[in-house]
Each structure stands twice: as structure tokens, then as C-alpha cells.
Structure 1
Amino acid sequence: MRRSLWLVAFGLVLGLSIPLLYGGSGLFQRLATFPLSLLGVVLTMIFVGWNFNAGRLRLMLSGIGQPMAHGRALATVMATEFAFCATPAGSGGPLTYVFLLRRHGVPGSDGAALYALDVLMDMLFFTTALLVIALALFIQPEQLRAGWQLALLAGLLMSVMALAWLAARHHRSALLWGGKHLRKWRVSPAARRRLARMLLRFRQGLRLTLGLSRARLLAIYVLCVGHWLMRYSILYVLIVGLDRHISWAYSFLIQMLALTAGQFSMLPGGSGGVELSFTALLAPVLDHATLGAVLLMWRFTTYYWYLIAGAPVFALFAGKALWQHPGNGAPKKAGEKVGV
């Protein structure tokens, strides 16, 4: 736990230093011109987005016979977002999600499958959004400077989706390939068996969730679209609030690229990588002071606020046990063996 806190603290210092150094003294003058009422609007957008996610979690759970109250679903979403932001590469997000669903009575394999369905819905949205943005770029040729960014993101998404499809389609071969390499890495036979059982249960659970009715899946996707439109409109609103103009489509691409690049920093929240990528992409469009102010407010609303608002919820619902030992604390059914 102490190491995680040090990583979060280091990431915060690094992330704050970049906009402050880049924006210089003019940054605070630009911040003073930003309407506080608009900041309230942005934070409200985040809260609405959390509720969209809580709604789709409830739809998924009721579809497998595990209904959940909206307040608890919202707490699950906020705690998961906090864990995602507070751990390197977001590794704590899925663990927290599955852990909290197990406390609700959902088997671990089904919880992992629900998380996978959540991710698939996200990927479907981003794929659709990139197609729409590509059409917009052809309609407005003056914005073709974003073409390479669009191509890069499309390539990443297609690669991830192709790997996921191949793993699901040829799961036996994937298990054999994984087992072969795990033996080379001297992973114990017991650990390999547990991993294989977990993957098989996950696949069964994924088939269960994908068996939901089309109407329910469509409703889940609509809520997914609502969440991401809220979250990815924040940068556009912040820039407009500082009396600057940028197309919504270009702001969408900037956020996708910056957040993707941030994952390679291996720091909580992608600190350092996100800020540097964001600065490089917006430098041709905004002056130093405005860019520094926008970056600071964007990271506050889409990262620091997730830590501030999510920390007490995580502490209340997940607790210290999960932070220290992600595998502990989840309830087990009668007769269930540890690690099976």
C-alpha cells in the first residue's frame, strides 16, 4: 500500500509540474478568466457520466438475475474509477470491479465477464466514433492534419479487437500457448491450473452476458455512448470557456491519443505521458498560457477529481483489505476452495 501511495504522489507532482512549467506565470491569469459556473457544469457532466455507467451496470446485472440498487451501482462505478486512476496502467480497476460484484453475490467469473462486456461496449463506441470523425475529416479537408492521429487510433483499436476475437475463437490454442510459456517462466502447475480454470469460467461467463437480449444490449450501448460523450466533451467545454475554438472531433482525438500514450508511463493515471502528449498535440493550436490552463483544468476534472471523489467511496465499499491484497476479502460460496 505504501508503494502505491508513493506512486500516486509522484504522479501527482509530475503531472502538476508540466502544465505549471509550460504555462508559466500567464497560466494563473488565464485561469482567473474561466467562469466558475462552467467548472460546475463540467463536474456535473462527470457525475451524469457516472450515473450512465451505473445504469449500464444495473442493466447487465439484472440481465443475469443479480439486480442492484442504483446507489450501490453508482458506488461501484466510483470506487472502480478511483482504483483505475490510483494504480499503474489502471490495473486496480478490474480487480475492484470484480471484488465489489462478488460482495454483491456475483461469481468472480461472471464479474470478469461483465467487465469484459463493458470494455467491448467501450471499444464499439470508440470504433464508431472514429468512423464518424473520419467522415467529418473528408467533409472538412482543412482538418486533415488529424489524419495520422485517426489512423494510429484506428490501428490500435482494430489490433486489440482482433486479438480479443482470436483469443475467444481459438481459446484452446491460446490456453496451450499460454501454458507453454508459463512453464518456461517456471510458474507452478497449481498456478497454471488456477489460471486455466479462471479463463474457462471467464469464457463461460462472457457467453452468458452476450446471451442478453438485443434490446438490453442496445440499452447498455446507449448508456455507454452517453457516458463517453459526456466525458469526451469536457475538453471542448474547457477550451470554449477560455474563449478559444477547436473542433469537437479534434478534441476527441487529442484525448484518445493522450490517454493512450499515458498508459505507457506505467504511473497511476498515466501521469507524465498524458500531459506531455496533450501538450504536444495542442501546442500548434493554443498559446502557452492557455494550453497550460486547459491542461490543468482538464486533468483536474478527469483525473484528480476521480481521486478526490472516489477515495472515500473506495474506502467505504472496498476497504483496506483489497488495497493491500486484491485477492482477499471477497466472500466465497459454501464449499468453494480458495484459488479455484
Structure 2
Amino acid sequence: MQSRLWWKAALLILTLAITLLLPWWLGGAGTFTAVIAFPLPLLALMVALAVICWNLNAARLRLMLDGRAGRLGQGGALAIEMSSKFALCATPAGGGGVATLLWLLARRGYPPAQASAIFLVDQLADMLFFSLMLGVLVSLSMSGLASWPHQTLVEASLAALLLALVVFAVVIVWLPWLLRHVSPPPFVGSGPRRWMTRRLLRCRRTLASTLALPKGVLMAIFALCCLHWLARYSLLYLAVLGVGGGADWAWTFLVQMLAMAASQLSVLPGGAGAAEVSVGALLLPLMAREQAAAAVIVWRLVSYHLYLVAGAPVFVAQVVGWWRTRANQSSPRP
């Protein structure tokens, strides 16, 4: 157990080093000067946007739960959001984020199978937003109204992302049919198969009940989703402005979407390495090398390192609270 913790800590330290040193190496000697010269008011605005994003997601979680996990105020929802985001950023492929969300909701008496449906609703709202944005960006690119670097690569990437979103949506809609007609792999036994089927069906029922919320609540959930991503994906644009670059907002939004897809190829937490290289490469045609590298460093400081630094104490507090509760429950009563 201890060796696993040391291995995870070493992996996280390697990730932090890569996210800072890789852009520095790619940008050259002028990167340090560009980072130091970054305007502090603009950096404060970026931090404020990150805090707003946490609160928007916390409010969205409260609406999705609709009182089904007990009384949950903004502070409690914010603690769940920050703990989940910390785990997301600290684990490979972000797998710890979902597990932490399910664990924290289970502590409030909300079953994991139903909590996974809440996560699915959250992902569906994200999918709808990105599908709409992808449609707009694809239309701008293919109609010639917007001319971006690497035009052919951009169009192919946008089309692939849009296709992936459509396939995922179709799988969700046809889930009952798939469970009835698609045979599982031969190495999966009947016991695990029944267990997974029950969980999927419970998840789908909770998803249906969540989607059956009043239309006003669903619209509010989607509005909070849109505000979150518009604010979150404005961070790179502000970083580019701070280093004196000339990329427009739509291009930096698209760059972050493509970087998010590329980061899935990295085995390190936070998509380290792939995110920095992809963003830096897409910014290079529009600005100097040291400017692009400095923009990537500042962007990662606010969109990744800040999530780790601010979320770690909240996550530790949640774990300590759980440990104390468990110790009190297991201690013999006089």
C-alpha cells in the first residue's frame, strides 16, 4: 500500500515538472522573461474565473441532485466539486475524479449506481454544449468565414470529434437494445455480467428521473454548463493576451478542445506532455516561440496547478472526516 502511494506521488511530481519544464524547453531563454512580465491584474482575473468555474459546477451539482443526497448547500457542493477536480487532475486519465465524486455522494447516502447517473447527466450537458460549439466552428471553418492555421488538420479533427460525440450519444440512447442483443466478451462470467447489467439499468433509471426534472431546472443546468465552459476556455485567450499574442478567442477555444482530445493519449495525470505540446504547436503560427511557451505555462498554472493546490486541502479534509467518522463508529461503546 505504501509503495503504491509513493509511486503515485512520484508520478504526480513528474507530471508537475513536465507541465512547467516542457514549455520552458520548447520556448527557449525568452520564456522566463515573458512569464515574469505577465500582468498581475490579468493573472488575478484568470484565478477569479477559475473560482467562478468551481462555483458554477457546484451550483449545477445541486440542481442535478435536486435534494436526493440530503440538504446540500453551496459550500458542501463546492467541497465535492473541488475534491473531485483535485482527484481528476492528480490521477492518470482522470479516473480518480469520477471515483471521488461517487464516494463523496455515497457518504451522503446516495447510492453509487444512481450517483453515476448524475455524472452521466453532467457529461451529457457537456456533450450538448461541445456539439453545438463544434457545429459552429465546423461551419465557420468549412464555409471560409474563418481562416485558421493548419486548416485541413483542424477540419479533420473537428469532424472526428463531432463523430465521436454522435456515436457516444447513440450508444446512450440504444443502451437497452445493446444489453439485450450484444453478447459480452467470453471472459466475462455470468455473475459480473448480471452485476454490471443491474448497475447500468439503475443508472439509466436515475438518468431518466434526472432528465424528468422541470424544464426550467434542466435549462438552468445547461446554462450553468455553458457559462462554465465559456469561462474555463477563456483562460488560454487571457494567457495569450497577457504575453502579447494575437490569437482570437475562437481559435484559443478550438485549441483547448483539440488539446483536451490529445491529452487522452497521455498516461500522466492531467494529460501532461500531450496538452502542452498540442497547445504550443497550435499557437506557434500566430506568435513568437517564447510567447507561445509562456502562454502555455500561465494557462497550465491556472487551469491545472491551481486545481491541485486549492483542491488538495479540501480533499484531505474530506478523507480525514471520513476516517474520523469510521473510527468513531468502530470504537466500542461503554
Q: Output the TM-score relative to the length of structure 2.
A: 0.88
Q: In 1, Cα distance between the equivalents of 2:267 and 2:128?
A: 25
The one of 26, 38, 49 equivalent to 2:42 is 38
Q: 1:61 Cα shift? A: 1.3
Q: 1:304 Cα shift? A: 0.9
Q: In 1, Cα distance between the equivalents of 2:96 and 2:173?
A: 24
Q: 1:320 to 1:46 in 2, by over 3 A?
A: same
1:163 aligned partner: 168
Letter in 1 for 2:46: V
1:272 aligned partner: 273
Q: 1:152 Cα shift? A: 1.7
Q: Deviations over 1:232-265 (max 9, x none)?
A: 0011111112222111111011111112101111
Q: Deviations over 1:268-290 (max 9, x none)?
A: 00011111111221121121111
Q: 1:141 Cα shift? A: 4.1
Establish whether residue 238 from structure 1 lines up as the match of residue 239 from structure 2. yes
Maintained 8 Å contact 1:96/1:318: no
Question: Structure 1: which 5+ residue stretches go unaligned?
Answer: 323-328, 330-340
Q: 1:20 to 1:320 in 2, by over 3 A?
A: farther
- Aligned with 1:284: secondary structure? helix
Establish whether residue 204 from structure 1 lines up as the match of residue 205 from structure 2. yes
Maintained 8 Å contact 2:179/2:197: no
Letter in 2 for 1:292: A
Maintained 8 Å contact 1:258/1:278: yes
Q: 1:140 Cα shift? A: 2.9
2:305 aligned partner: 304
1:257 aligned partner: 258
Q: Deviations over 1:11-54 (max 9, x none)?
A: 22222221111122111111222111111110000000111111
Q: In 2, Cα distance between the equivalents of 1:157 and 1:87?
A: 27
Identity %: 38
Deviates more, 1:218-227 or 1:191-200: 191-200
Q: In 2, Cα distance between the equivalents of 1:37 and 1:258?
A: 26
Maintained 8 Å contact 1:61/1:67: no
Q: 1:229 to 1:42 in 2, by over 3 A?
A: same
Letter in 2 for 1:13: A
Deviates more, 1:80-89 or 1:130-139: 130-139
Q: 1:170 to 1:32 in 2, by over 3 A?
A: closer
1:62-77 equivalent positions in 2, closer than 5 A: 62=66, 64=68, 66-77=70-81
Q: In 2, Cα distance between the equivalents of 1:211 and 1:43?
A: 35
1:337 aligned partner: none
Q: 1:69 Cα shift? A: 0.5
Q: 1:188 Cα shift? A: 4.7
1:288 aligned partner: 289
- Aligned with 1:37: secondary structure? helix
Question: Structure 2: which 5+ residue stretches go unaligned?
Answer: 327-334
2:330 aligned partner: none
Deviates more, 1:146-155 or 1:2-11: 146-155
The one of 122, 126, 133 equivalent to 2:126 is 122
Q: 1:170 Cα shift? A: 3.8
Q: 1:119 to 1:226 in 2, by over 3 A?
A: same
- Aligned with 1:143: secondary structure? coil
Matched length: 319
The one of 153, 170, 181 equivalent to 2:158 is 153
Q: In 1, Cα distance between the equivalents of 2:205 and 2:152?
A: 40
Provide the alpha-carbon RMSD of the alignment: 2.3
Q: 1:63 Cα shift? A: 6.1
Letter in 2 for 1:231: R
Q: 1:213 Cα shift? A: 1.4
Letter in 2 for 1:116: L
Q: 1:11 to 1:234 in 2, by over 3 A?
A: same
Maintained 8 Å contact 2:69/2:110: no
1:296-335 equivalent positions in 2, closer than 5 A: 296-318=297-319
Letter in 2 for 1:14: I
Q: 1:110 to 1:279 in 2, by over 3 A?
A: same
Establish whether residue 56 from structure 1 lines up as the match of residue 45 from structure 2. no
Q: 1:318 Cα shift? A: 3.9
Q: In 2, Cα distance between the equivalents of 1:121 and 1:208?
A: 15
Q: In 1, Cα distance between the equivalents of 2:147 and 2:166?
A: 31
Maintained 8 Å contact 2:31/2:291: yes
Establish whether residue 81 from structure 1 lines up as the match of residue 81 from structure 2. no
Deviates more, 1:167-176 or 1:108-117: 167-176
